[in-house]
Structure 1
């Protein structure tokens, strides 16, 4: 798929892909997965909101390290202080500040719904357009 051609947008890359059927006479090879167009129908705000919701859910799942259905401050800080693959090590003050913004009530422990609401108030997503196709 060439982004920018035939009405495709870069945002279609973030949508879940459907499973594809094997290509006839191609042995073990499969066709490239197709993007479900039904998910792009609607307003651009709904696409951005759906992307942000999936991002918040992914962040919750990653930070709920003991899988008890809650993210507490210690889990969040410990998980987000890890050195990343590219060598970046976050500052403790930055991680704690982000937690404080997600946990506005200062509960110290958030359910998935509370975490996703706080996450969505801190982080944002919007839909934009490219003027030229990417090459």
Structure 2
């Protein structure tokens, strides 16, 4: 799949769709994944609440759905995009990534899948 893809473009990809379901199931059944997702979402909500009112339950569910839709890219981009290996770069720590890579969750990354947090370089 050359070029760039939005999450909407990936819907219908069987690997992507299956892994998104894995995320929803894990949220309901895996206490560590559930707690990590809520911690990630709480951080987002704290940043939002500095500028707006507290998020509604509907907004919280929407944020979690967005988080779940990113899980396939962190778990198995090689198969989704047809490459031997991929590196998922993100600008914030995803609370479930470290436990996932340590094998502590009910699911884990595919062979050839990497993850890194990117941060700006501090100028002196």
Scaled by the length of structure 2, the TM-score of the pair is 0.30
Structure in which a larger fraction of residues adopt helix: 2
Scaled by the length of structure 1, the TM-score of the pair is 0.28
